[in-house]
């Protein structure tokens, strides 16, 4: 029989083991804590939290439905144009930059130092992995993809193909709101779905040339006309509701995928979030399958039409397919119409084109009601710009709308985007070890460029000129805003008098990054401006937007791919 182990020895071993484990855990904890970059302000609470700033962002998302204000608040909290944060456990510090001159410099002139990185691409990789927006510039596929779609934003394509589709789909929205205004006796109604439906009709028509039988707005008009005795009953807040025709299955699928894509921008780990959603949501998987079938069917129909030489290029899809046919002929190969890049470029064109324009338009109609003086001035400017249409009691035509300059219309559009841009944050990643405002920045550091805080909507945070990059000091293309009225809605800030005494619109009046800048700025920027210009002009031409109650005019917002208002109601009177 073995002698018993001395009690003292066993307790000593246990204590030694416990101390060793505790020390190891403490050292591991200290090692895992966030490591700040020298000299750049940060939150001490985040520095001592394994999850960094993530808990604060999750709390904000849970309470408000958005996370983007965190970035603006962080720079204001530290009164520093450059701050650092940690987006999760075991992550390197990311930077928040709230200064237009340095942001512009990064986007326009420092593209060899900063580019789109994983923070950009991960959110898109689940839904459109073969779209150029999901690729860094160094990706071997990027150049070919951009070549495939490069002509879609040329003036010729926009005016000859996109503009007519935008016009006719917008006039359908005018007809729908005319009907609702009559039936509802000008009482307020929720305009959000109508705007989003009109935007999806527009982008689908531009992308695929879809006819009216696949127009959600046209079908909704027919549905209301089929109920001649319907009269809406006012709600407690004074608004009225209208019966809605179920959304067409394919359009519903596209919208569901768009919503899912928006959720990826709020997820700390987008790739994992996408896989989890596919696993837990049968409807999402079905929507993706329906989207794939829709793309395949539309491409097949277009190929037959193009090979017969019918109707020429009438959509973005026709143009892309024709480029593939030409490239295949030149290379002596068979064209591949159902390649992943063609499918993803087409679908990305829809989602991005729909989301940004729809979001911008919801804020624009809210601003017309909130700022009646600007609305009245805009309507007068439109009447003066299109005198023949006004005298003849007709709508301005397609060519009139894109060809005639209306400085005040451009100014209102730009001021709406300055106040409530669809995407108020642009993200870049350092490709090399570099410097930013005098601080050493290691390769791989993510930089969030904020475009709705200091310098844009509130006074700039002072920066010593010596701390700026050489190219930022040398080139100053834009003006600056008057700090005393930056918080106001003031379209006049975008106007100036030229040497001939004419009032003209000046796009470089002051800081603006609604669609980013530079070679990796928003690809669909020109299309978005064309669409919002047409829609706003035709809506103000046809309707007076009335001031709403405080509850219905709330400017509270939530985040998806873009920034959206919780409430978007309109009360209209038809203008003659």
Beta pairing class for 94-97 and 446-450: parallel
Please report whether residue 378 resides in a domain: yes
Residue 117 has pLDDT above 80, yes or no: no
CB neighbours (10 Å) of residue 432? 11
pLDDT band at 31 (very low <50, low <70, confident <90, very high): low
Per-residue H/E/C for 16-61 = HHHHHHHHHHHHHHHHHCCCCCCCCCCCHHHHCCCCCCHHHHHHHH
Domain count, the chain: 2
> What number is the average pLDDT over the span 475-488?
88
Please report whether residue 481 resides in a domain: no
> What number is the average pLDDT over the span 345-371?
92
Maximum CA pair distance of the chain? Answer: 116
- Positive or negative CA dihedral for 160, 162, 165, 166? negative
Q: H-helix or E-strand containing 63? A: helix 54-64
Cα(324)–Cα(336) distance, integer angstroms: 7
Domain with residue 279: its CATH number is 1.10.630.10
Domain housing 40: 32-127+427-474
**Do 457 and 413 belong to one domain?**
no
Token pair in block for residue 111: 């593209």
Round the average pLDDT of the chain to a whole number and report it: 90
**Do 223 and 193 belong to one domain?**
yes
> What number is the average pLDDT over the span 37-66?
92
Known binding-site positions for heme: 522
Task: Give the rounded distance of the alpha carbon of 352 from its chain centre.
Answer: 7
**Do 416 and 469 belong to one domain?**
no
Please report whether residue 551 resides in a domain: yes
Residue 417 has pLDDT above 50, yes or no: yes
What percent of the chain clears pLDDT 90, i.e. is strictly above it?
A: 65
Burial, 566: exposed, middle or buried (Cβ in 10 Å; 0-12, 13-18, 19+)?
exposed
- 429 near 445, Cβ under 8 Å? yes
Please report whether residue 143 resides in a domain: no
> What number is the average pLDDT over the span 39-45?
95
Please report whether residue 85 resides in a domain: yes
Residue 33 has pLDDT above 90, yes or no: no
pLDDT band at 437 (very low <50, low <70, confident <90, very high): very high
- 161 near 552, Cβ under 8 Å? no
Which ranges of 371-433 would DSSP assign to H, the alpha helix? 372-385, 387-392, 398-403, 407-419
Q: SS3 helix, strand, coil % of the chain, rounded to 5?
A: 55, 10, 35
**Do 391 and 441 belong to one domain?**
no
**Do 523 and 400 belong to one domain?**
yes
Cα(486)–Cα(370) distance, integer angstroms: 17
> What number is the average pLDDT over the span 462-469?
93
Cα(39)–Cα(23) distance, integer angstroms: 30
What percent of the chain clears pLDDT 70, i.e. is strictly above it?
A: 94
Cα(5)–Cα(281) distance, integer angstroms: 59
Task: Give the rounded distance of the alpha carbon of 10 from its chain centre.
Answer: 65
Lowest mean pLDDT among 193-207, 464-478, 521-535: 464-478
**Do 168 and 90 belong to one domain?**
no
- 381 near 412, Cβ under 8 Å? no
- Positive or negative CA dihedral for 572, 167, 530, 337? positive
**Do 219 and 109 belong to one domain?**
no
Cα(289)–Cα(277) distance, integer angstroms: 15
How open is the CA angle 211-217-219, to the nearest 5 degrees?
75
Residue 3 has pLDDT above 60, yes or no: no
CA atoms within 13 A on the CB side of 23: 6
In sequence order, what DSSP letters do the residues of 99-117 get, joined into one string? -HHHHHHHHHT-TTTEE--
> What number is the average pLDDT over the span 34-45?
94
Please report whether residue 102 resides in a domain: yes
CB neighbours (10 Å) of residue 363? 23
- pLDDT recorded at residue 311: 60
Token pair in block for residue 400: 């009139």
> What number is the average pLDDT over the span 104-127?
88
**Do 542 and 402 belong to one domain?**
yes
Known binding-site positions: 522
pLDDT band at 27 (very low <50, low <70, confident <90, very high): low
**Do 431 and 448 belong to one domain?**
yes
Please report whether residue 340 resides in a domain: yes
pLDDT band at 5 (very low <50, low <70, confident <90, very high): very low
pLDDT band at 4 (very low <50, low <70, confident <90, very high): low
Token pair in block for residue 85: 């944060």
User: Coil, strand, or helix at residue 349?
Assistant: helix
CB neighbour list of residue 263: distance below 8 Å, 6 or more residues apart: 273, 277, 560
Token pair in block for residue 370: 């909130």
Cα(114)–Cα(471) distance, integer angstroms: 14
Boundary of a domain, candidates 474, 504, 537: 474
Boundary of a domain, candidates 474, 501, 533: 474
- pLDDT recorded at residue 59: 92
Please report whether residue 538 resides in a domain: yes
> What number is the average pLDDT over the span 476-481?
85
Boundary of a domain, candidates 474, 499, 533: 474
Cα(406)–Cα(414) distance, integer angstroms: 13
**Do 386 and 400 belong to one domain?**
yes
Residue with the bigger pLDDT between 513 and 228: it is: 513
Please, which residues bridge with residue 169 across strands?
none
**Do 444 and 566 belong to one domain?**
no
**Do 245 and 160 belong to one domain?**
yes
């Amino acid at each position: 029989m073995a002698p018993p182990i001395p009690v003292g020895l066993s307790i000593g071993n246990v204590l030694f083991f416990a101390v060793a484990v505790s020390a190891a855990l403490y050292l591991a904890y200290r090692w895992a804590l966030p490591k700040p970059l020298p000299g750049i302000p940060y939150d001490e609470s985040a520095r001592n939290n394994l999850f960094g700033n993530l808990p604060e962002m999750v709390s904000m998302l849970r309470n408000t439905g958005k996370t983007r204000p965190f970035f603006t608040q962080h720079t204001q909290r530290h009164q520093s144009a450059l701050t650092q944060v940690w987006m999760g456990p075991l992550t390197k510090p990311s930077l928040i930059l709230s200064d237009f001159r340095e942001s512009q410099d990064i986007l326009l002139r420092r593209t060899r130092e900063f580019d789109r990185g994983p923070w950009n691409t991960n959110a898109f990789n689940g839904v459109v992995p073969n779209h150029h927006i999901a690729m860094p510039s160094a990706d071997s596929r990027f150049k070919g993809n951009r070549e495939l779609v490069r002509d879609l934003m040329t003036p010729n394509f926009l005016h000859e193909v996109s503009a007519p589709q935008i016009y006719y789909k917008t006039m359908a929205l005018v007809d729908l709101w005319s009907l609702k205004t009559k039936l509802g006796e000008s009482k307020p109604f929720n305009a959000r779905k109508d705007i989003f439906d009109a935007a999806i009709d527009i982008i689908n028509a531009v992308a695929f040339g879809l006819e009216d039988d696949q127009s959600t707005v046209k079908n909704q008009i027919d549905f209301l006309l089929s109920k001649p005795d319907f009269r809406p009953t006012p709600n407690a807040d004074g608004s009225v509701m209208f019966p809605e025709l179920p959304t067409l299955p394919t359009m519903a699928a596209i919208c569901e995928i768009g919503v899912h894509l928006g959720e990826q921008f709020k997820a700390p780990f987008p790739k994992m979030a996408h896989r989890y959603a596919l696993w837990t949501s049968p409807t999402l998987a079905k929507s993706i399958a329906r989207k794939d079938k829709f793309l395949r069917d539309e491409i097949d129909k277009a190929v037959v039409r193009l090979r017969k030489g019918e109707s020429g290029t009438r959509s973005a899809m026709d143009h892309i397919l024709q480029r593939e046919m030409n490239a295949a002929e030149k290379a002596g190969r068979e064209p591949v119409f159902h390649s992943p890049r063609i499918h993803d470029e087409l679908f990305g064109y829809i989602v991005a084109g729909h989301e940004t324009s729809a979001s911008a338009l919801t804020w624009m109609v809210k601003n017309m009601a909130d700022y009646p003086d600007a609305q009245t001035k805009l309507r007068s400017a439109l009447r003066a710009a299109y005198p023949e249409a006004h005298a003849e009691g007709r709508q301005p035509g397609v060519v009139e709308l894109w060809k005639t300059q209306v400085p005040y219309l451009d100014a209102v559009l730009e001021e709406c985007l300055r106040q409530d841009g669809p995407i108020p944050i642009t993200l870049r990643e350092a490709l090399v070890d570099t410097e930013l405002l005098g601080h050493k920045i290691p390769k791989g550091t993510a930089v969030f460029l904020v475009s709705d805080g200091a310098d844009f909507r509130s006074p700039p945070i002072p920066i010593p000129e010596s701390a700026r990059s050489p190219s930022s000091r040398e080139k100053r293309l834009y003006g600056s805003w008057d700090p005393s009225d930056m918080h106001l809605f003031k379209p006049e800030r975008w106007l100036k008098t030229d040497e001939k005494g004419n009032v003209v619109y000046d796009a470089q009046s002051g800081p603006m990054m609604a669609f980013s800048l530079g070679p990796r700025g928003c690809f669909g920027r020109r299309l978005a401006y064309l669409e919002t210009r047409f829609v706003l002009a035709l809506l103000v031409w046809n309707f007076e937007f009335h001031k709403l109650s405080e509850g219905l005019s709330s400017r509270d917002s939530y985040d998806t791919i873009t920034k959206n208002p919780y409430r978007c109601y309109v009360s209209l009177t038809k203008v003659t």
